[in-house]
Chain A
Amino acid sequence: MKYVDEYRDPAMAEHLIEEIRRLAEEPISIMEICGGHTHAIFRAGIDQVLEPQIRFLHGPGCPVCVTPIEKIDRAIALARRPKTIIATYGDMLRVPGSESTLLKEKAKGAQVKMVYSSLDAVALAEKHPDFEVVFFAVGFETTIPANGFSILRARELGLRNYSVLCNHVLVPPVIRFLLEDPDVQIDAFIGPGHVGTVVGSEDYRFIAEEFGRPVVISGFEPNDILQSVYMILKQRQEGRRQVEIQYSRAVKPEGNVRARAVLNRIFEPVDQEWRGIGTIPRSGMAIREEFRDYDAEFKFQSALTLSPAQESPACICGEITKGVKEPWQCESFGTACTPDNPIGTCMVSSEGTCAAYYKYQFLKRAAGGMLG
């Protein structure tokens, strides 16, 4: 665990901060795509230390935040089905659908279980043969292979009561979508570290080559992020536009070949709706026909014909996810929409931009602190 200390060392941090200040002659906007980075930036106060030269824009990299409301409604509809267990990651329990959440359904008696991996969901199916176990799977390239592996495992075990309601999304298409949007002003990207462990760095080359923006794939400790900002500034100073890996202790340029193979065997790219943003071509991953028996949307088609989803009109999560607006610019932020009672998805997940703003800055600002 020693390397963690190294990446939290205050003396090293101080040195990097000085270097960044020296290099940042004019203010620049850097988007961190991954919600884990958003959280880490706020938790360590990196945004406070580097302002005003560095402005962080918080990208669409929280899988909870971008899951469309229809999908949540479907998970809730399945949770209400008798003899059905919905298994999912913790954060998904609190995401508001049109009129409920999985957590509220659980409190009313639905069988909703929080799991740590898709294999735990397979184990539930093995343990409860009289129940249909539906794993509500969300996530980027990081989690797709493991969730695919659960399907292979269920097939190997001969389980017929396991299926996956999936909402998998891909990073590169949404970045392209953002870069093509004239409202979005991004000078450089901090690339997602965990996604990088699976896909490597090649998928991001278009950002540097087609759009001329530096990308540095970063780890999650404070000094990782500071070093990534430094590497971005260095590229700009030297007139380079490249994809670099700061998180080299975990990310190889080619990624994890075995994980990519599982991903491509079980899933195929589809057009995908991103909550608040819209439909982006080939930005989602759906279960291939060969594995249809494990696709909850196919298996329970009749139970999933629902009335159209109702999104709250007060929510500007889409613009926040694109980095066009800040949480402060949302009328509901901190008033109608709080972590206790989230209206929009950005306030739900600990990786969501609004939740991070609220948790780390809102109260301070409200108390007339230094950000006021």
Chain B
Amino acid sequence: MEERRTPPRAHTLPETIQLAHGTGGRLTHQLIEQLFLEYFRNPYLEGMNDQAILPGEGGRLAMSTDAFVVKPYRFPGGNIGDLAVNGTVNDLVVGGATPLYLSASFILEEGLPVRDLVEVVESMAAASAVAGVQVVTGDTKVVERGSADGLYITTSGIGRIPEGIDWGPHRIREGDVVILSGSVGDHGASVMIERFEMEFDTQIESDTACLRDLVEAVRDVPGIRCMRDPTRGGLATTLNELSQSSGLNLRIRERDVPIRDEVRGLCEALGIDPLYVANEGKLVCVVAPEEAEEVVRRMRRVKEGREARIIGEVTGELPGLASLETLLGAVRVLDLLAVEQLPRIC
């Protein structure tokens, strides 16, 4: 038997895990690349997509998994239950898959009110019905009071990918167009207001939604290169990942990225960039230029895509980096965040 090798890069990891390792920014990427990828290396994982695409009899399978630890577990517009279903379903559909089955694991904190759990499970059932998936297996664990923030949920999902669909960053070409399905930052802003018990005179609702209908509306357009749902880390992080994987430059225009006034106001007040704030029901789509208008038209016919628009292009100028053309016409790099965005002092 081959001796287990010690991956050399793991030695550069820090001594302790910090919160920033979980924010989807630079430290998360470091952890994935220097630890998980080093030990688990295989062709499916190396794709580094939201879903793994696996060979199967009667068509390819897509598989995805996600853990949900949102605090608080209830927020305007949804709860951890919707998120746990929609999050995994969306990770499947952005790969072109029709979602079929889910598993759900619950980690419950001692003392959690049962009525809260009932509410969460009801939301999961409703979200599953909308997505057309069944929860077919699961697990329950209870941990001592103080060991969790109420409840954590992990969902895994399986879907089937139709013949002819091959979406991924490897298909992105210079000259392609970047489309966004709607305003950014709504989910993260709604959670921030609840989490920090901020007094804010307007209600910001999470955009938690299932993207199945939106993706199906455009699935047969041949020019679609790649899709992602910009969740944790926001739009900027997703653009970064696509730029890195394709080795090209995804450049967006600040004036074309929709941000609700309330979200912009909250972000201004906290000194946070809304482009890095989480979404839970938005789609970024890279499309061949000649079909971009058609994709926007189709998206706008679906509720989740009513505000869809072209926000930028793929260029060869800053290879591997995402960038932003500001309102003043200057161009700046949209880098991965080093750590979680922290509110400013003055």
Contact = CB atoms under 8 A, between A and B. Distances in A.
Contact of B328 (A13, A94, A139): A13
Contact of A34 (B326, B328, B330, B346): B346
Contact of B346 (A108, A194, A360): A194
A56 to B, nearest CB: 13
23 contacts: A2-B261, A8-B327, A43-B273, A45-B326, A45-B328, A49-B328, A49-B330, A63-B345, A64-B345, A90-B342, A103-B19, A104-B18, A114-B342, A139-B346, A340-B27, A350-B342, A359-B335, A363-B318, A363-B321, A364-B323, A367-B320, A369-B317, A370-B331
B109 interface: no
A237 interface: no
B255 interface: yes
Interface in A167-206: 192, 194-195
B344 A36 contact: yes
B346 A339 contact: no
Contact of A364 (B268, B318, B344): B318
Nearest to B17: A107
Interface in A109-150: 114, 116, 138-140, 142-143
B326 A91 contact: no
B16 interface: yes
A361 B254 CA distance: 17
A49 B19 CA distance: 37
A45 B331 contact: yes
Contacts of B196: 116
A338 interface: yes
Contacts of A13: 327-328
A10 B255 contact: yes
A4 B261 CA distance: 9
B346 A140 contact: yes
B271 interface: yes
Contacts of B268: 4, 220
Interface string B261-297: 1101100100101000000000000000000000000
Chain A, interface size: which category? 35 or more
Interface of B: 16-19, 26-27, 30, 196, 198, 255, 261-262, 264-265, 268, 271, 273, 317-321, 323, 326-333, 335, 338-339, 341-346
Contacts of B323: 364
Contacts of A346: none
A285 B31 CA distance: 42
Question: Chain A CB within 10 Å — which of B27, B30, B273, B333 has the most?
Answer: B333
A143 B346 contact: yes
A138 B339 CA distance: 21
B225 to A, nearest CB: 22
A369 B332 CA distance: 10
A168 B183 CA distance: 39
A93 B342 contact: yes
Interface of A: 1-2, 4-5, 8, 10, 13, 17, 34-36, 39, 42-46, 48-49, 61, 63-64, 89-94, 103-104, 106-108, 114, 116, 138-140, 142-143, 192, 194-195, 220, 222, 338-340, 349-351, 358-361, 363-364, 367, 369-370
Given A17-B328, A43-B273, A45-B330, 12 more contacts: A1-B264, A35-B344, A44-B326, A44-B327, A61-B346, A89-B345, A90-B343, A114-B342, A340-B338, A350-B344, A361-B332, A369-B331
B345 A143 contact: yes
A363 B342 contact: no
B332 A339 contact: no
A122 to B, nearest CB: 14
Contacts of A94: 339, 342
Nearest to B249: A367
Contacts of B264: 1, 4
A1 B327 contact: no
Question: Chain A CB within 10 Å — which of B30, B344, B345 has the most?
Answer: B345
B261 to A, nearest CB: 4
The 7 A-B pairs with the shortest beta carbon distances in the complex, nearest first, are A45-B330, A90-B342, A339-B338, A48-B330, A107-B16, A1-B261, A45-B326
A42 B331 CA distance: 10
Contacts of A143: 345-346
Contacts of A4: 261, 264-265, 268
A1 B265 contact: yes
Contacts of A90: 342-343
A6 to B, nearest CB: 12
B346 A63 contact: yes
Contacts of B265: 1, 4
Contacts of B262: 1
B271 A350 contact: yes
A42 B346 contact: no
B346 A36 contact: yes
A135 to B, nearest CB: 13
Contacts of B271: 36, 39, 350
Contacts of A46: 328, 330
B345 A351 contact: yes
A13 B320 CA distance: 30
A130 B320 CA distance: 52
A222 B254 CA distance: 13
Contacts of A351: 344-346
B335 A91 contact: no
